[in-house]
Homo-oligomer: A and B are copies of this chain.
Amino acid sequence: MARSCNFDRQEKLILAMELFWRKGFAETSIADLVEHLGINRFSLYNSFGDKQSLYRECLRFYLDHFSFGTQEQLLHPQAGLVDILTYLARFVALQREQKYGCFMQNALMEKCLDDDCVQQECQRRFAQLQSTFTQVLTHSQSQGELSLSVQPEALAAFLVLQLQGIRVLGKAKEYTLLDNAFGVLSEYLKRLALTPLNPVDGE
């Protein structure tokens, strides 16, 4: 849909995303958005619709461009178990930096009961994550790196669960607990390998 406006729509969308991410849906007022985005109320409604529409679009944008980042880090042709370990170690480290936690989890906790769109967006992202992990694990098995006793889809589901737990402990600033838990997780994953692994950033 063509719109004539004197601002960069995506730039404003990212500003809105940051505000919703930090404050949540209920605590973010239209007045907050007007001030934070630096556009007037009319332009806001004209470009993004009502608060709920904007929230949904922000969540979608976050899920596609900010969350977890698996696609870029894991989906290269030689990806294998070692890349999953490196990815997880980086993800754990990231928890110390992202103090707002995970916008997806914030949205799940606040909105999934009363907004089916939120639930569907999150389920779409969960499916993508599982699919990415499954693909990498299957490739790892085909390369003789990962034990054939492993079922890639089940282990992928287990990894998606780990990401969620890591995010919660991160938001709670439970860094020691998180590091200890990650130690167990990475030992477990290393033992599934048929040959010793040397993750780049692993612990």
Contacts and interface: CB of A to CB of B under 8 A. Distances in A.
Interface in A1-60: 22, 24, 26-27
Given A101-B109, A110-B109, A110-B110, A157 B181 contact: yes
> What size tier do the contact residues of chain A reach?
35 or more
Given A112-B172, A172-B126, A161 B178 contact: yes
Interface string A146-173: 0000000111011011111111110111
A166 B177 contact: no
Nearest to A103: B109
Number of copies: 2
Contacts of A172: 108, 112, 119, 122-123, 126
Interface stretch (A61-69, A70-78, A182-190, A195-203): A182-190
A57 to B, nearest CB: 20
